[in-house]
Chains A and B, each alone.
Chain A
């Protein structure tokens, strides 16, 4: 079946270091992927997305890498700041109805 999972449920990094959050997906037909950030008590906030015809996409301090060969997605956050502390979700568009399928999330904690 379709699944979106995360390799690490929690990640703790030092302020200023780079963070890498990983995500595995199982549906090779998925053509769109997206990362969300969710702070405590708030709704998910869009970070960055990527289509399957791309390997890499960069935003402000964030980069998403897509490896279709091993069905792996990663989110890189440069110079991680305390404000980056949150739960990060990946999602793929590949459900039977073209719906987004969300992973369970990785909690990122940034130590000052």
Chain B
């Protein structure tokens, strides 16, 4: 199993641009989530999904959209990038519909100029 994969590894955007961060898992996990990690802030939940076709907002959802059309994929869309969205983004998944024992991807570093 590849586990949780994320692309790209690094991205530079200009303010106002849009982009999609890709996340995929091959463990047949129902639960998937997106976090952002900022210095001194720990991990903060952006959006999550308990299964295909179901998404919900986390702690910091503004400026981001998600969809879950398949069990494997959970893309995160930045609608209009802002410098405040400069961060490291992690996707995670866990079995069942629980957030317990989440497995994380390697992360995407995003710089918004």
Contact = CB atoms under 8 A, between A and B. Distances in A.
Interface of A: 4, 32, 34, 36, 41-46, 49, 89, 91, 93, 95, 97-100, 102-105
A46 B90 contact: no
A77 to B, nearest CB: 19
Nearest to A100: B99
A97 B98 CA distance: 11
Contacts of A100: 45, 99-100, 102
Interface residues of B, number: 24
A48 to B, nearest CB: 10
Contact of A89 (B40, B43, B103): B43
Nearest to B4: A43
16 contacts: A34-B100, A34-B101, A36-B104, A41-B107, A43-B4, A43-B92, A44-B43, A93-B99, A98-B98, A99-B99, A100-B45, A100-B102, A102-B42, A103-B42, A104-B41, A105-B42
Contacts of A44: 43, 90, 104
Nearest to A99: B45
